[in-house]
C-alpha cells in the first residue's frame, strides 16, 4: 500500500468517524495527483469485484476551469458536508460484461436514486455508465420511478453507444476502504466504503 493510499484512507476514516485527524484538502489533492501518476505508470486494471458495494462520496475537486468559475467556494478541493449523503453503488448482473451502477443522493427526507448499466473497459481502469432510471422518495415513500431521457431503448443500446458519448470514471486508487477517480469532466472524487 502506498503512502498516498494511506493519506486517502486517513481522510476517509476522519470523514466517516468525525475524527479531528483530517488531512487538509491540499494534502488530499497532492496524494490524489501522485497516485494518479503512479497508476498511469503501473497500468493496473479495475475489476467489478473491487468496486462492488456501497461507496460514500466525501471529497471532490473541480477542474482548474470550474475552480476559477467557483472562486473561493471550491478552492483546490472540498470535503462533502456530512449531512449530504451521496453514494455510488456497484453490483454485478447475471451478464458478466455489464453491471449496474447507482447514484443515491439523500437530503433530509428527500432521496434521489439514479441507476443504469455500467461496464469496465477491458485492460483499462475506465468505468463507463449511463443513468437510465430515476427513483424519488420522500419520507421513505416512492413518489416516482421510471426511465429518464427516453425508455428501455437507452438501456438496450448501452453496449453499442460510443464511449465519447457516455459518462465515465477513470479509477486510479482502489483499496478495500476507498476508491478515487477522475470523471469525464476532469474533476477528482474520493468515495469511502460504507453501507447505507
Taking only the tens place, the pLDDT of each residue in 125-155 is: 899 999 999 999 999 999 999 998 777 777 7
pLDDT band at 10 (very low <50, low <70, confident <90, very high): very high
Check pLDDT > 70 for residue 65.
no
Query: In the Cβ-directed half-sphere of 99, how many Cα atoms lie within 13 Å?
Result: 20
Check pLDDT > 80 for residue 73.
no
Dihedral angle sign, alpha carbons of residues 12, 15, 16, 19: positive
Cell of 7: 493519506
Q: Which of 43-57, 64-78, 111-125, 142-156 has the lowest mean pLDDT?
A: 64-78
Amino acid at each position: 500500500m502506498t503512502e498516498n493510499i494511506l493519506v486517502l484512507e486517513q481522510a476517509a476514516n476522519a470523514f466517516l468517524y468525525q475524527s479531528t485527524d483530517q488531512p487538509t484538502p491540499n494534502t488530499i489533492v497532492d496524494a490524489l495527483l501522485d497516485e494518479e501518476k503512479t497508476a498511469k505508470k503501473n497500468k493496473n486494471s479495475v475489476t467489478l469485484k473491487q468496486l462492488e458495494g456501497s461507496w460514500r462520496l466525501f471529497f471532490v475537486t473541480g477542474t482548474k476551469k470550474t475552480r476559477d468559475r467557483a472562486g473561493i467556494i471550491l478552492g483546490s478541493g472540498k470535503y462533502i458536508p456530512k449531512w449530504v449523503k451521496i453514494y455510488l453503488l456497484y453490483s454485478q448482473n447475471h451478464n458478466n460484461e455489464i453491471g449496474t451502477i447507482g447514484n443515491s443522493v439523500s437530503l433530509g427526507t428527500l432521496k434521489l436514486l439514479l441507476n443504469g448499466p455500467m461496464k469496465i473497459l477491458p485492460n483499462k481502469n475506465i468505468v463507463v455508465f449511463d443513468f437510465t432510471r430515476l427513483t424519488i422518495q420522500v419520507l421513505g415513500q416512492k413518489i416516482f420511478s421510471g426511465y429518464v431521457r427516453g425508455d428501455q431503448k437507452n438501456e438496450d443500446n448501452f453496449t453499442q453507444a460510443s464511449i465519447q458519448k457516455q459518462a465515465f470514471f477513470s479509477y486510479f486508487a482502489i483499496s478495500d476502504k476507498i476508491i478515487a477517480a477522475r470523471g469525464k469532466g476532469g474533476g477528482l472524487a474520493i468515495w469511502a466504503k460504507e453501507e447505507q
